Amino acid sequence: MTTRIRVLIAEDHTIVRQGLVALLNTADDIEVVGEAGDGRAALEQVEAFSPDVLLCDLAMPGLSGLEVIKRLQSLEVAPRVVVLSMYHDAEWVKRALDAGAHGYLLKGSGVQDVVRAVREVAGGASFLSPGASRAAQTEQLTDREREVLTLLAEGHTSKEIGSVLGISHRTAEHHRARVMQKLGINDVAGLTRYAIRTGLVDQNLK
Per-residue pLDDT at 206: 47
Query: Cα separation of 19 and 23, whole Å?
Result: 6
CA distance linking residue 35 with residue 12, whole number of Å:
10
Q: Does 135 reside within a domain?
A: no
| Local structure of 1: helix, strand or coil | coil
Query: Residue 86: which CATH number?
Result: 3.40.50.2300
Last residue of a domain, one of 107, 129, 151: 129
Spell out the SS3 assignment of 98-110.
HHCCCEEEECCCC
| Spatial separation of the C-alpha atoms in residues 158 and 177, rounded to whole Å | 11
Whether 22 maps to a domain, the answer reads: yes
Q: Are 9 and 20 in contact (CB under 8 A)?
A: yes
Residue-level pLDDT at 135: 65
195 and 117 in a single domain? The answer is no
Q: What pLDDT shows up at residue 136? A: 66
Same domain for 74 and 148, yes or no, is no
Q: Which stretches in the chain have pLDDT values below 50?
A: 1, 206
Positions of E strands within 74-167: 80-85, 103-106, 127-128
Which run of H or E residues covers position 195? helix 188-197
Asked whether residue 14 falls in the same domain as residue 64, the answer is yes
Query: How far is 18 from 148, CA to CA, in rounded Å?
Result: 45
DSSP-H helix ranges across 37-105: 39-49, 65-72, 90-99
pLDDT at 1: 47
Same domain for 11 and 40? yes
Query: According to the model, what pLDDT value does residue 204 have?
Result: 57
In the prediction, which pLDDT does 139 show? 67
**Host domain of residue 169:** 140-205
Pairing outcome for strands 53-56 and 80-85? parallel
For the chain, the domain total comes to 2
- Least Cα distance to 21 among 29, 31, 122 occurs for 31
Predicted local confidence at residue 57, as pLDDT: 94
CA distances from 13 to 9, 10, 85 (A): 11, 9, 12
